[in-house]
Amino acid sequence: VLLVVALVKWTVIGRFRPFVRPLWSNFIWRLELQNALYEFLATPLVLDFLRGTPFISWYLRLLGARIGSRVYVGTTGFLEFDLTFVGDRTALNEDCIIQTHLFEDRIQKAAELHIGADCKVGTDSVVLYDSKMEDGARLEDLSLLMKGETLLPKTTWMGVPAQRADNMPITEKRVPITE
């Protein structure tokens, strides 16, 4: 199954490069075929069982992703593999999404996404295309890194959209309601 999906990726798509394509183009149909095989065949049959092991990084590299050494990958949330760069010793936690594309006004746009060394992407977080996490940056659980944004080195971010964690109030002041 994994070899068939890889073969389809390289024969039907080839290497992904940043692109802007209309929704109903031949390229998008081919992309959807490759995505369906990856998401609905390879993921439930094999990749879900490889999460958290070195084998999933090896497979993502086979598909074109640039993933450093000693990277924890607890997700299968990838698509345009060749546009993904992940540095050494990074943690991509459970069910985070590394999203290298968006549809905007019936146009699909895709660009590179860079996650530096020693970074953390929290559980169920989303990193959008054309963004960058510099070395040591942390995106906490259930957070969203918007497209075109950069997380500074050794900083922690959280929320939707992501904001510096040290700028967020620790507790919310409650004002009693008086009648």
Q: Is the pLDDT of residue 170 over 50?
A: no
Helix intervals (H) in the chain: 2-8, 26-37, 48-50, 54-62
The pLDDT of 85-97, averaged and rounded, is 97
What pLDDT is recorded for position 178?
52
- Residue-averaged pLDDT of the chain: 92
Looking from the CA of 155 toward its CB, the CA atoms found within 13 Å total 15
What pLDDT is recorded for position 168?
55
pTM beyond 0.85: the answer is: yes
What pLDDT, in 10s, does the model give residues 25-77?
999 999 999 999 999 999 999 999 999 999 999 999 999 999 999 999 999 99
